[in-house]
Amino acid sequence: MTRIFIDADACPVKDEVYRVAVRYNLGVFVVSNRLIAVPDQPGIERIVVDAGPDVADDWIAERAGAGDVVITADIPLAARCVANKASVLEPKGRELDGDAIGMALAVRNLMDDLRSTGTITTGSAPFSKADRSTFLSALDRIVVRLRKSVRVTPPRPPAGGW
């Protein structure tokens, strides 16, 4: 069964995830270093981990695997989850898979270097309605794909019948 893990401390699309999870009857883990309000609905579980670098990331990466979806903007966490065969989606709707994660890591490292030297001082563009819509479409597409991939085809009777 597909589960959704949200790297929740700075995630702007939690409400959208809850809606999709309810529609498809999926379990959701909302993982953070602090108490975050979550809907009182079956299948939505709040996980508060100890404060510290990468504690929430470690919790998610240790549990997410094939058939699961991870929502995060954290590229190193995304890389760990992709290595575990989980589907990873950024809040702006970009899916990070085995083909895209290497480039995403390279760009992240380049941008860190440029920011540290003062070459770039601005962050990314603000989150928009279009980003929210793109995210919803991408999450729905991933969930449908995962649900199709785990369907089991019943065995066919032998040529002579059972």
Q: What is the pLDDT along the chain (162 residues), one digit of tens a residue?
A: 899 999 998 899 999 999 999 999 999 999 999 999 999 999 999 999 998 889 999 999 999 999 999 999 998 999 999 999 999 999 999 999 867 666 656 565 555 665 677 776 666 678 899 999 999 999 999 999 999 886 544 455 556 555
CB 31 within 8 A of CB 62: no
Give the chain's domains with CATH numbers. 3-150 (3.40.50)
How far does Cα 90 stand from its chain's mean position?
Answer: 7
Give the total residue count for the chain: 162
Q: Which region holds residue 54: left if phi is over 0, alpha if psi is between -120 and 50, else beta?
A: left
Q: Is the pTM of this model over 0.85?
A: no
Helix, strand, or coil here: 153? Answer: coil
User: Rounded distance, CA 141 to CA 162, Å?
Assistant: 38
Q: What does the block give as tokens for 15?
A: 């409400």
CA angle at residue 39 from 137 to 75, to 5 degrees? 50
User: Rounded distance, CA 139 to CA 143, Å?
Assistant: 6
